Chain A
Amino acid sequence: MSLKRLLKEKRLIEKELSGYSESIELLEPVAFENFLKWRAVLKGPVNTPYHKHSFKLLIELPSEYPLVPPAITFEPYSMPHCNVEFSTGKICLNILEHEHWSPVWNLMYVMVALYQLLQEPVVDSPLNIDLANILRAGDTSAYHGLINYYLQEDTATH
């Protein structure tokens, strides 16, 4: 099922991204000979501290895809977010878990879900405790400040 479906997904993604996309800058296979590894660049949503930044993601598709979910991570040390482990880029999002995944979802759908996660962090299942604590305390300016600090740091070191 896998390769043929991926071909179709690729074609449809190309079509969709040929116009303007609010959320996705890039979504494509890493190399022409390997459809099981993709890369993506997500745009930072407006009205969030991520705005005007973009974020790289690495996507690995298991050979059983779409029966099992894709494995997606942000680039390490690039995404300060409640539900992302900063040092590894590991994401906590239920639709990416085996027991919640559905084969009717696709890479495009997952990207949109990640974009929504940037808009609405979930404090109940944090992978970044610092950010979650500040957000729980309701200190919005400290929250924005810390994210900005991380993001600046990131731009400075790279």
Chain B
Amino acid sequence: MTGTKPIKPTKLTMVSSICAICLDAIDKSIAKLEPCNHKYHIDCIRTWHNYSNDLNCPTCRIETNQLSVNIYPEIQSPPVKITLKTGFNINKIEEYCELIRRQPMHGTTGIRRNDYHPLLNEEESVIYEAISDEFEENYDSDMENDFDNSDLRVAELNESFGNILNINDDNEANNNPEELIGTFITKQNDLTPSKKQKQILQCSICGETNQEINICCQVCKIIYHDSCLRSLALETNEPATWMNCIQCFESVTAFKMPKIKDDNVFTFNSDEIMIYNGQIRDINSVLSQQLYEQTKVKSLEQLRIAKTQIQSHVRKALHELNKNATTSVDKIGINDFTKINKKVSRELYKISDYEYKSDDIDYDSEAMRLVLIELVNLGYMNHL
């Protein structure tokens, strides 16, 4: 063993608003280790603890026992405490939320505060309570937008459940949550007026709504037939890219299309139901899961903006190189141009975490760097 003497941290790690593991700013979801109070992103510290097989703080090396997570610091909610030693079992919470949500008469707030699940210990109940605060938040804003009073919501729910009972003479369908949601939304003759936009669950390429839909993009929350993606990729002469979403270029994943009765179309309210982890999920249950997974689901619009801005740097680099090309051989052909543009942009999204961060990242030089690599790979040697 050599050099056991502790060394002073360099400036890189001294700033407290920076997560010392990824060097990114900590804005939301601050995870504070206790008792030492060192702060990290929840993702980063949990990844590390998984890796290190101990619960020591990577900065001060003290053994920690609790993680205090402030998910929305701006609303001053009490931090969620995660007991590291027992570990936190999200499944129990989810299971409970699901259970409560499926009860027809669960009232207006979705979950009542004091209905602690018998499976939850005291710790988990605290976390659970924090989650239900979240639900109430969401629900309240819904109320403002869409309803005059809470009774309407109850009426709507009762109406819907009434419909389920009427449609399905065979009760076995009610036992399957997916079918339950399916029928719940399929029945359209709502008497309650709703301003919410109903969407049809359909392939984003061909518009079909059949059972064969089997692919989704986690980022864009849209679904495809794998056959549609394949033939589109063939059409654009890039058969290898069929595994990428046509909107954001991220890899697509498998999707489980919910079962639908007869030739009904699966419609849904985009603020109640979403595509998540390859399935149709209730947005609230996804929310609670995300509190823990901290999946950064950026809105499609945000992504589009970031994408356009990032791509403009890549195009700029490519145009600059073409402008300086002395011979026609050096000029980048249209096919290569598109290919490089796509590939480099994708790389830059990843680096930027799908956000446009012009303060952190020098996009012009990063774009140029990556474009040059691609050019070398394609045999355009003269650009160097």
A24 to B305, CA, bound (A): 41
User: Looking at chain B's contact residues, is the secondary structure mostly helix, strand, loop, or mixed?
Assistant: loop
Whether the Cβ atoms of B3 and A116 lie closer than 8 Å is yes
Min CB–CB distance A156 → chain B (angstroms): 29
Closest 5 pairs between A and B when the two form their complex, measured CB to CB: A104-B20, A8-B23, A102-B58, A122-B2, A33-B373
Whether the Cβ atoms of A3 and B350 lie closer than 8 Å is yes
Asked if A129 is an interface residue, CB under 8 A from chain B, the answer is no
Asked if B198 is an interface residue, CB under 8 A from chain A, the answer is no
Asked if B353 is an interface residue, CB under 8 A from chain A, the answer is yes
Whether the Cβ atoms of B7 and A116 lie closer than 8 Å is yes
A67 to B52, CA, bound (A): 8
Task: Mark contacts of B1-27 with chain A using CB atoms, 8 A cut-off: 1 yes-contact digit, 0 otherwise.
Answer: 111110101111100000011111000
Q: A5-B22, A108-B12, A112-B10 are in contact. Are A67 and B47 (CB under 8 A)?
A: yes
Q: Which of A45-53, A71-79, A88-96, A139-147 contacts B (4 or more CB under 8 A)?
A: A88-96
Whether the Cβ atoms of B13 and A109 lie closer than 8 Å is yes
Residue of A nearest to B50 (CB): A67
| Interface size, A (range) | 20 to 34
Q: B360 contacts which chain A residues (CB < 8 A)?
A: 8
Whether the Cβ atoms of B21 and A66 lie closer than 8 Å is yes
Q: A4-B353, A92-B2, A116-B7 are in contact. Are A12 and B51 (CB under 8 A)?
A: no
Min CB–CB distance A75 → chain B (angstroms): 19
Q: B116 contacts which chain A residues (CB < 8 A)?
A: none
Asked if A103 is an interface residue, CB under 8 A from chain B, the answer is yes
List 18 extra interface pairs beyond A32-B372, A109-B10, CB under 8 A. Answer: A1-B22, A4-B352, A5-B23, A12-B12, A12-B23, A33-B369, A83-B2, A93-B2, A94-B4, A95-B3, A103-B20, A104-B13, A104-B58, A106-B12, A106-B13, A109-B7, A120-B5, A124-B1
A92 to B58, CA, bound (A): 21
Residue of A nearest to B368 (CB): A32
Min CB–CB distance A107 → chain B (angstroms): 9
26 residue pairs bridging A and B, Cβ less than 8 Å apart: A4-B352, A7-B366, A8-B23, A8-B24, A8-B360, A9-B12, A12-B12, A12-B23, A16-B12, A33-B372, A66-B21, A67-B47, A67-B48, A83-B2, A93-B2, A93-B3, A94-B3, A103-B48, A106-B10, A108-B12, A112-B10, A113-B3, A116-B3, A117-B3, A120-B5, A125-B2
Q: B9 contacts which chain A residues (CB < 8 A)?
A: 104, 109
Task: Give which listed residue, B20, B44, B352, contacts A1 with CB less than 8 A.
Answer: B44
| Interface size, B (range) | 20 to 34
Asked if B351 is an interface residue, CB under 8 A from chain A, the answer is yes
Task: Give which listed residue, B3, B22, B376, contacts A122 with CB less than 8 A.
Answer: B3
A95 to B44, CA, bound (A): 20
Q: B350 contacts which chain A residues (CB < 8 A)?
A: 3-4
Task: Mark contacts of B365-382 with chain A using CB atoms, 8 A cut-off: 1 yes-contact digit, 0 otherwise.
Answer: 010010011001000000
A8 to B369, CA, bound (A): 16
Asked if B85 is an interface residue, CB under 8 A from chain A, the answer is no
Task: Mark contacts of B55-99 with chain A using CB atoms, 8 A cut-off: 1 yes-contact digit, 0 otherwise.
Answer: 000110100000000000000000000000000000000000000
A52 to B376, CA, bound (A): 40
Min CB–CB distance B346 → chain A (angstroms): 13
Q: A93-B2, A116-B5, A122-B3 are in contact. Are A16 and B369 (CB under 8 A)?
A: no
